[in-house]
Amino acid sequence: MDFPFRSVLVPINFDEGAGPALAFARRITESSRATLHLLHVLSVIAVPGEPKSDISRQIEDARKALQQLAALHLDGLPYQVLIRSGDVVKSIVEAAQADNADLILMPTHGRRGIPRWVLGSVAERVVRNAACPVLTFRPDAAGGDISVSDVMSRNPPTVSPLATLEEAHSIMARHDLMALPVVEDATLIGIVTDRDLRLYSGRLDAIRVSTAMTSSPVTVAPGLGVNEAARLLIKLKVGSLPVVDNGKLVGMITTDSVIKHLLDEPGHS
């Protein structure tokens, strides 16, 4: 395809529309020298008393997630990653102007559950306000909803509540984990995270996991839809959630597994 544009802005959200948006962008630009500017807009609201580091972490987490999506899906194509916060329409329009975009690729509809900022009303407002052309498209809908059990990691590493934090740290480092389920008699009783370990820095060998863990953590069922699990991960600002069936730990679902689902789902490549 002879594609005349050289700078293309693609708004991306971390949902089932991300895969189709990236695939569509690649399909229409891969034969040209167009640079793709991938934009994610965060609805960051400053709360009085909230550490600025929390907001900075949200921005950095979003940047890393978008870079991972791009690196996996746009290999060989020139792209840049953009993170903005605030009003979605205003952020898209301003980003297009700042990067001299001569086209915006804008998803308009998707399957049930896609967040509101990729719906038609937002796309229509972008069309009205953007200085450059806006190409709207409907992401391809795949088959039935994918459940957590389809993408979770099975038989995840665990730790006993009687183990020391040093032992937990060793397991997490070996498996490159940010969180570790705490299991007793095959039953999930808590979770210990890298943040918990930092609180006891210098004393890891003297503190039991039971002291530092979060008891009765939020869990998801294996039959829950991936989209719902993704929204829960974002709402709780965590990178992983235990998957529990009848009180027994059966897996873990992570931000990474959700991203891989978006990229690998049939019809999204």
Give tens-digit pLDDT for 20-54. 677 777 777 766 678 999 999 887 555 555 555 56
Whether 267 is in a domain gets the answer no
**Rounded-to-integer distance, Cα 181 and Cα 46, Å:** 31
Whether 269 is in a domain gets the answer no
197: amino acid identity, one letter: L
Tokens 């895969």 map to which residue?
19
- The residue among 75, 84, 140 whose CA lies nearest residue 107 is 140
Query: If DSSP codes are grouped into helix, strand and coil, which group holds residue 145?
Result: coil
Tokens 């991960």 map to which residue?
233
- The answer to whether the CB of 14 falls within 8 A of the CB of 260 is no
Burial of residue 161 (CB within 10 Å: 0-12, 13-18, 19+) is: middle
For position 253, what pLDDT does the model report? 92
* Number of domains forming the structure of the chain: 2
Those residues whose C-beta lies under 8 Å from the C-beta of residue 187, and which sit 6 or more positions away, are 247, 248, 249
Are 117 and 16 part of one and the same domain?
A: yes
Whether 102 is in a domain gets the answer yes
Tens digit of pLDDT for each residue in 198-257? Answer: 999 999 999 999 999 998 888 888 877 777 777 778 777 788 899 988 778 999 998 877
Q: How confident is the model at residue 63 (pLDDT cuts 50, 70, 90)?
A: confident
**Rounded-to-integer distance, Cα 160 and Cα 17, Å:** 39
Q: Which of 143, 159, 182 is the last residue of a domain?
A: 143
For position 157, what pLDDT does the model report? 95
Tokens 């792209």 map to which residue?
79
Are 195 and 238 part of one and the same domain?
A: yes
Q: CATH no. for residue 193?
A: 3.10.580.10
Q: How confident is the model at residue 106 (pLDDT cuts 50, 70, 90)?
A: confident
- The answer to whether the CB of 96 falls within 8 A of the CB of 133 is no
Q: Is the confidence at residue 65, as pLDDT, over 50?
A: yes
**Rounded-to-integer distance, Cα 36 and Cα 126, Å:** 18
Are 248 and 216 part of one and the same domain?
A: yes
Whether 113 is in a domain gets the answer yes
Supply the range of the domain harboring residue 223.
148-262
Whether 169 is in a domain gets the answer yes
**Rounded-to-integer distance, Cα 79 and Cα 137, Å:** 20
Are 132 and 20 part of one and the same domain?
A: yes
pTM of structure? 0.49
For position 263, what pLDDT does the model report? 56
Q: How confident is the model at residue 96 (pLDDT cuts 50, 70, 90)?
A: very high
Are 139 and 154 part of one and the same domain?
A: no
Q: Is the confidence at residue 143, as pLDDT, over 60?
A: no
Are 124 and 172 part of one and the same domain?
A: no
Whether 45 is in a domain gets the answer yes
Query: If DSSP codes are grouped into helix, strand and coil, which group holds residue 260?
Result: helix
For position 268, what pLDDT does the model report? 40
